[in-house]
Structure 1
Amino acid sequence: MNRIVPLVLAVALFMEHLDSTVIATSLPAIASDIGTSPVALKLALTAYLVSVAIFIPVSAWMADRFGARRVFCAAIGVFVVGSIACALANSLAGFVGARFLQGMGGAMMTPVARLLLVRATARSELVGAMAWLTVPALVGPLLGPPLGGFITTYFSWHWIFLINVPIGLAGIVAAMFLLPEFGDAEATPIDFRGFVLSGLAAAGIVFGLSVVSLPALPPVVGVVTLAIGVICTMLYVRHARRAERPILDLGLFSQPTFRAAIAGGSVFRIGAGATPFLLPLMFQLGFGMTPFQSGMLTFAGAFGAIGMKFFAQGTLRRGGFRTVLVLAAVGGGFLIGLCGLFSSGTPAWAIIAVLVAGGFLRSLFFTSVNALVFADLSDAEASQATAIAAVTQQVSIALGVAFAGAILEVVTFFNDGMLDSGAFSIALYMVASAAALAALPFLALHPAAGSTVSGHRMAGANARTQVVPPRQGS
């Protein structure tokens, strides 16, 4: 396997995923410097998520029309410009606007990177390539909190954003010289109505869930926005059924492997996405740890995520997508639930062992499910698949944080307003159950599903006749 393509893409994605979490520990310092409150500054976090949600749907059309490599380089450039604007911001409005600009670049980077990887990699080597691309998404959020605290404490919060400049420029140069170009100058005109409806749908749901779970605005604003997002989702589904070439082709869901990958991946992210939100709070508020101590513990999961990439391809070859994803979902959920048993007296080695094992299984799950998305699709359908996968990912992560936040609110209410370690345990048990439920969509798959990608072989003819061929056209 040519590792140059996934490594170049991974560096850019690492910058994006690291930046999205490193800011969280620096909110008080940034708020003090620009003259606002940390609660109000959470609007900047929401602005980034909303921007990503709005512009992800158009990423597929942009890549097909202007070329995936050019769009990827342009996305890095926009992200870098947004990073500089963040460092120069001296007001709440300026900082929120800069984060929105960053989100425009971030919206293109992940789906277009996956598209480049799929089109540049043989299906038989896709799992190994996806393993390299999955690591930044898992390591970035784990490294972000301790790194953010270190930079803010010993340097200045401005460097959180300025370090993106040399990384981004190096990524653009590497991408221009090392990545292949894919695109179709004859791409069809953009589905403008679909773009508006899909953007409002995704942004409304993500913004609504973010406000409800991390209230920087009155909760009623989140509820109304969420309702608008749901309505626009229904309107888009209606539009997509009638449009000749919708911006997001929902017809891909007729493919069983794609449908299972999106459904199972979304459910698992509700649990796995809530864990990085719950664990630091439990360590700090429940156990009295410092932010740095908490960050160093949660970072342990990165070692499991990195170690997984050496085993993913062999594991899928032996077990196949269905078996591996079912076991990874159930095992990953079980390990999230084990975190609920932690107490202030739990030895550090035991916590680290659970987090490393959890990082391994989560990384195995995401590598496998990201590859399954494309297992039975043609190259012409890959751009649509990346956009749909990215949209559902954003929505499911926002839903996971909102779900966890709602559990904490309910438990705290019945606990006379006290937020203790027991509340976090209950929340972890519930999100663990959600993660384990992700196994259900994969149980319906044939054991040989996606075997052209996994390399899994069963008893000859029976396996071959069960593999669903790629759909033709786009």
Structure 2
Amino acid sequence: MPIRTASYRTLALIVAAALFMENLDTTIIATALPQIAREIGAEPLKVNLAITSYLLSLSIFIPLSGWMADRFGARRVFSSAIAIFLAGSLACAAADSLFGLVIARICQGFGGAMMVPVGRLVILRAVPKGELIKALTYLTIPALLGPVLGPPIGGFIVTYSSWRWIFLLNIPVALIGIILSIIYIPPIKAPAPPKLDGVGFALTGLGLASLVFAFEAMGRFPLPNWMPGWTLGATAGFGLIALLIYWARSRKMVAPIVDLKLMGIATFRRAVLGGSVFRIGIGALPVLLPLMLQLGFGLSAFASGLLTFASAAGALVMKGATQFLLKAFGFRRVLIVNALLCGAIMMTYALFTPAMPHMVIFMMLLAGGFIRSLQFTGINALSYSDVTEGAMSSASTFSAMMQQLSLSIGAGTAALALHLTLMQRGGAALQASDFQPAYLFIGGIVMISSLFFLGLSKDAGANVSGNVRHVAVTAEIKETRAR
């Protein structure tokens, strides 16, 4: 099939459609777990393995994605990842036992691990840096749409049809994605791919998977009875040790599977660290909002999903303003001010009460989605502003690892905050007021992320944002001093 030249919008939409499928599938299954358990004859708690197995598979194989793209080409890996994800979806829909469902979800996780970082890599290598913000804006929307659309769509499906349609919905999106990726995505491939760092892959995969498992298990409120706290601590400790061993080992390697020397690039380092802290706060929202609206306010899953959809609507509204704001004010100012605004807005969620009009809640969530979309796009664009072409694969892999880990930490942080509130109150069931301290806490975490952007230069990322004013002023000052 011939390859056609595609605009950055076409490439971004192809990748965004695949990422939306993956993000939606990740969250939609949680609503269907009780129905799945009844049909396959398994205990509801054990069916949680369908979620855990996917996340572990995703975490294990993400470090491999950059090397795979360099070795076999981004187009081949991306289209193959969609095909693998589709095969896993079909296997999930056909599963008649817990074992079969878990195996199918592992297959899905492998496909998802390739789709996200390799899809981003396609954009990074094919789109000029001057157009990067516009392209990355399209990739921000799936990450915001998936978590809020998953619960209401899942609730609708399990209410009026079979849970198997949750996975069958992926068929048209995947088939279209495969065809369009083969037609439009260029055959991007490293000229001389390095040998696979097998030991590094094992260390990063086990380390990331252990940490994600520990924080995700903590994030399922309340904690399972069969999982004592020391087990989670031991698992997290094992993961941290594995990553520390990888760090010590990779410093002397020429081509490690994840190049930690990228942290020597100031814009990449501050975007990754600040973005990780920011995502910890954002990762708490998918836990807090549904629990508050359903358990605290007594709303149905479908009704709460319609309210939380406001966050995604805000992201859509923000898409057109992102480029203008970053060009006018630069990354440093926007990321600092916007992080403070994000934290403040999240703190206002502590004011939500069952008696508050739903339209007021909707508008406050809309404002939050609007601001978060700007921050996500800005952080993603800044991350790659100074990364060279040859290091893009490793940078995309590194970013994907940190994003997965920080979102999991966010979910665990939210559950821990609720648990501590319950302990202090001496209650056994969540009430609406129990969520107030959690929102204040995670809002504070989001505000803290602004500190990482204080050290940015005023012209940081100007080659991406187009904010050349500071570059010109800096050049003029240097020229004056030279005289």
Q: TM-score, normalised by structure 1?
A: 0.96
Secondary structure of the equivalent of 1:165? helix
How far off is 1:410 after superposition? 1.2
How far off is 1:211 after superposition? 2.1
CA contact (8 A) 2:219 2:287 kept: no
- CA–CA distance in structure 2, aligned partners of residues 462 and 397 of structure 1: 38
- CA–CA distance in structure 2, aligned partners of residues 319 and 40 of structure 1: 50
**Cα 1:154–1:326 shift into 2, 3 Å:** same
- Matched with 2:232 is 222
- In the alignment, structure 1 residue 233 sits paired with structure 2 residue 243: yes
- Matched with 2:3 is none
Deviates more, 1:29-38 or 1:217-226: 217-226
CA contact (8 A) 1:307 1:360 kept: yes
- CA–CA distance in structure 2, aligned partners of residues 188 and 97 of structure 1: 31
Deviates more, 1:91-100 or 1:270-279: 91-100
- Matched with 1:19 is 25
- Which amino acid is 2:227 matched to? P
- Matched with 1:472 is none
- Matched with 1:105 is 111
* Identity fraction in percent: 45
How far off is 1:83 after superposition? 0.7
- CA–CA distance in structure 1, aligned partners of residues 474 and 119 of structure 2: 32
- In the alignment, structure 1 residue 444 sits paired with structure 2 residue 455: yes
- Which amino acid is 2:53 matched to? A
- Matched with 1:283 is 293
- Which amino acid is 2:193 matched to? A
- In the alignment, structure 1 residue 76 sits paired with structure 2 residue 82: yes
Deviates more, 1:94-103 or 1:360-369: 94-103
- Matched with 1:201 is 207
Across the two proteins, how many residue pairs are aligned to each other?
Answer: 467
CA contact (8 A) 2:340 2:450 kept: yes
Secondary structure of the equivalent of 1:23? helix
Write out aligned runs for 1:179-328 (5 A): 179-184=185-190, 186-214=192-220, 215-216=223-224, 217-219=226-228, 220-328=230-338
- CA–CA distance in structure 2, aligned partners of residues 330 and 48 of structure 1: 34
- CA–CA distance in structure 2, aligned partners of residues 34 and 225 of structure 1: 30
- Which amino acid is 1:354 matched to? M
How far off is 1:103 after superposition? 0.6
- Matched with 2:351 is 341
- CA–CA distance in structure 2, aligned partners of residues 84 and 466 of structure 1: 62
| Deviation per residue, 1:95-128 (Å, 9 max, x gap) | 1221111110000111001100011111011000
How far off is 1:179 after superposition? 1.2
| Deviation per residue, 1:10-37 (Å, 9 max, x gap) | 1111100010111111111111111123
How far off is 1:459 after superposition? 4.4
Q: TM-score, normalised by structure 2?
A: 0.94
- Matched with 1:471 is none
- CA–CA distance in structure 1, aligned partners of residues 116 and 420 of structure 2: 35
- CA–CA distance in structure 2, aligned partners of residues 251 and 185 of structure 1: 21
**Cα 1:320–1:230 shift into 2, 3 Å:** same
CA contact (8 A) 1:79 1:103 kept: yes
- CA–CA distance in structure 2, aligned partners of residues 354 and 363 of structure 1: 14
Secondary structure of the equivalent of 2:8? coil
Secondary structure of the equivalent of 2:469? coil
| Deviation per residue, 1:54-85 (Å, 9 max, x gap) | 11111010000100010001110111111111
**Cα 1:460–1:298 shift into 2, 3 Å:** closer
- CA–CA distance in structure 1, aligned partners of residues 460 and 446 of structure 2: 22
How far off is 1:368 after superposition? 0.7
CA contact (8 A) 1:210 1:222 kept: no
- In the alignment, structure 1 residue 125 sits paired with structure 2 residue 136: no
RMSD value, Cα? 1.5
How far off is 1:222 after superposition? 2.2
- Which amino acid is 2:238 matched to? I
Can you give the 5+ residue segments of structure 2 that lack an aligned partner in the other structure? Answer: 1-6, 479-483
How far off is 1:2 after superposition? 3.2
- CA–CA distance in structure 2, aligned partners of residues 253 and 466 of structure 1: 29
Write out aligned runs for 1:336-375 (5 A): 336-375=346-385
- Matched with 2:164 is 158
| Deviation per residue, 1:303-326 (Å, 9 max, x gap) | 111111111111100011111111
- CA–CA distance in structure 1, aligned partners of residues 175 and 251 of structure 2: 41
| Deviation per residue, 1:208-237 (Å, 9 max, x gap) | 212233244513332221111011011010
- In the alignment, structure 1 residue 421 sits paired with structure 2 residue 432: yes
**Cα 1:422–1:243 shift into 2, 3 Å:** same
Write out aligned runs for 1:36-51 (5 A): 36-51=42-57
CA contact (8 A) 1:248 1:384 kept: yes
Secondary structure of the equivalent of 1:299? helix
- In the alignment, structure 1 residue 393 sits paired with structure 2 residue 399: no
- CA–CA distance in structure 2, aligned partners of residues 71 and 410 of structure 1: 44
CA contact (8 A) 1:211 1:221 kept: no
**Cα 1:464–1:24 shift into 2, 3 Å:** farther
- CA–CA distance in structure 1, aligned partners of residues 217 and 141 of structure 2: 29
How far off is 1:464 after superposition? 4.9
- Which amino acid is 1:451 matched to? A
How far off is 1:44 after superposition? 1.6
- CA–CA distance in structure 1, aligned partners of residues 45 and 205 of structure 2: 26
Secondary structure of the equivalent of 1:90? coil
How far off is 1:417 after superposition? 2.4
**Cα 1:275–1:18 shift into 2, 3 Å:** same
Can you give the 5+ residue segments of structure 1 that lack an aligned partner in the other structure? Answer: 468-474
- CA–CA distance in structure 2, aligned partners of residues 423 and 299 of structure 1: 23
How far off is 1:463 after superposition? 3.4
Deviates more, 1:104-113 or 1:415-424: 415-424
CA contact (8 A) 2:121 2:392 kept: yes
- CA–CA distance in structure 1, aligned partners of residues 191 and 235 of structure 2: 37
